[in-house]
Structure 1
Amino acid sequence: MIRPIIAYGSPVLREATQQISRDTPGLAQLIADMWHTLDNAGGVGLAAPQVNVPVRLFLVDNRLEDAPLRQAFLNPLIIMRSAAVSTDEEGCLSIPGLTAMVTRPETITIRYEDASFQEHTRTFSGMDARIIQHEYDHIEGRLYTDLLSPLSRTLLKHKLRAVSKGRFRPGYPMQFPLRS
């Protein structure tokens, strides 16, 4: 089932997320729904808070690399970030129509469980590392806009407000914050 993606301004995108276990109700269905949602939206990553579920789970689907990465990350923890950084353009399914240049560590090491709850520790570099860090930020209650300079955030404020009010409609289902 394709779930609506939660838009910028929704509180769930800033909430602390909970660890998950084999006993988490509906986990297999959540992961399947998230893959359908990500594929439908044409993104490269999706975190559970973006489908209104505040748990420590995200998906990465980076087919742009020579060795494509399509992986679910459960209960992840980044345990190393390189001092070397790179800057590249990022966007977000929760903030459609908006991109910005974001600086992140070039290489990370992450400990996580896969969908079968097998534990892994892997090092990623380049675009894979960037996507993982972006999705990891979601489960930490952060957005890529938090990494921008105050001036850049100020310049984007009008566009961010338009997204939160549903004035921009992408080609995939979205849920916008309740208007007061």
Structure 2
Amino acid sequence: MGRKVFRKKKVRAVDMHRLVYLGNAALRTVSRDVKDVMQIVPVVKAMKSIVVSSPSPQVGVNQRFFLMIESIPQGNVAFGLCNASSPCICRVVDDDTPFTYEAVINPVINSKSAAVTKDFEGCLSFPGYQGVVSRAEVIDVTYTTLDGRKIENRTLANLHARVFQHELDHLDGVMFLDKIDMSVRSPLIVVWRSSLLHRQTLIHDDEFRSRDYLDLQMLLKDD
């Protein structure tokens, strides 16, 4: 009987034109820890070309890492609402002045402030919509960088804290839809009119329809 040859499993190349959308099991799966940082390098490089911040489940890779924006060059134009406080929704238009990213691997939130803020959030896996979500204003975090450095007890505030919490939710199979503030007048708003097309072609209707408050006709009646 021949000897078995075991080969190290490689993370597949990412096609950034094939993001996964609401209804895909990857978005509702708890991601596993990254054991070998070098294996995710190709995935991280591919992800850097598309969004302000992005978790691995959005490209169908359930490992615990995401990209977090560190800085936005002055004058940079973003696609969408041009609102940097909306994680996962902006795309770089001015390629000459790209955003600066940090790869956040095996992230942990050590503590959260009692103070919270409310702001709109969006997600490329549920394109065209935003909702109000409450997040801790300041958090203390620990994670590993792409070059293997351990960042311990880093304090993040405001936008950075919101993005970190949003993306960490993704790694736990949680989307911003699960945390929308239902006390506001319009808990979910349509950002792009083309989102109707997304609903029919990209979003899995079963999960969409299971949420009573996602009433597109009501939201779009005042066109």
State the TM-score, normalized to the length of structure 1.
0.77
Q: CA deviation at 1:99?
A: 0.3
Change in Cα spacing, 1:129 to 1:16, as seen in structure 2 (3 Å) is: same
Q: CA deviation at 1:5?
A: 1.4
Question: Alignment partner of 2:199: what SS?
Answer: coil
Unaligned runs of 5+ in 2: 1-13, 75-98, 189-193, 207-223
1:59 aligns to 2:67 (yes or no): yes
Q: Tell me how far apart the structure 2 counterparts of residues 65 and 132 of structure 1 sit (CA, whole Å).
A: 20
Which residue number corresponds to residue 88 of structure 1?
Answer: 119
Q: CA deviation at 1:62?
A: 4.8
Unaligned runs of 5+ in 1: 157-161, 170-174
Which residue number corresponds to residue 75 of structure 1?
Answer: 106
1:35 aligns to 2:35 (yes or no): no
Kindly indicate which of the two structures has a greater share of residues assigned to helix.
1
Of 138, 142, 149, the match for 1:111: 142
Q: Tell me how far apart the structure 2 counterparts of residues 107 and 7 of structure 1 sit (CA, whole Å).
A: 29
Determine what percentage of the aligned residue pairs are the same residue.
29
Q: Tell me how far apart the structure 1 counterparts of residues 26 and 134 of structure 2 sit (CA, whole Å).
A: 25
Question: Alignment partner of 2:48: what SS?
Answer: helix
Which residue number corresponds to residue 20 of structure 2?
Answer: 6
Q: CA deviation at 1:151?
A: 7.3
Change in Cα spacing, 1:142 to 1:163, as seen in structure 2 (3 Å) is: farther
1:144 aligns to 2:176 (yes or no): yes
Question: Alignment partner of 1:95: what SS?
Answer: coil
Q: Which has the higher contact order (CA 8 A, sep 6+)?
A: 1
CA contact (8 A) 2:134 2:181 kept: no
Q: CA deviation at 1:63?
A: 3.4
CA contact (8 A) 2:145 2:151 kept: yes
1:17 aligns to 2:49 (yes or no): no
User: Quick check: 98-107 or 54-63, which moved more?
Assistant: 54-63
Change in Cα spacing, 1:62 to 1:91, as seen in structure 2 (3 Å) is: farther
Q: CA deviation at 1:164?
A: 10
Change in Cα spacing, 1:65 to 1:81, as seen in structure 2 (3 Å) is: farther
1:102 aligns to 2:110 (yes or no): no
Aligned residues: 164
Question: Alignment partner of 2:170: what SS?
Answer: helix
Change in Cα spacing, 1:151 to 1:125, as seen in structure 2 (3 Å) is: closer
Q: CA deviation at 1:17?
A: 0.6
Change in Cα spacing, 1:22 to 1:64, as seen in structure 2 (3 Å) is: same
Of 134, 137, 150, the match for 2:166: 134
Q: Tell me how far apart the structure 1 counterparts of residues 182 and 166 of structure 2 sit (CA, whole Å).
A: 19
Of 49, 53, 56, the match for 2:57: 49
Kindly indicate which of the two structures has a greater share of residues assigned to strand.
1
Instruction: Provide, for residues 81-101 of structure 1, a one-character-per-residue CA deviation record: whole Å limited to 9, x for no partner.
Output: 110000011111111100011
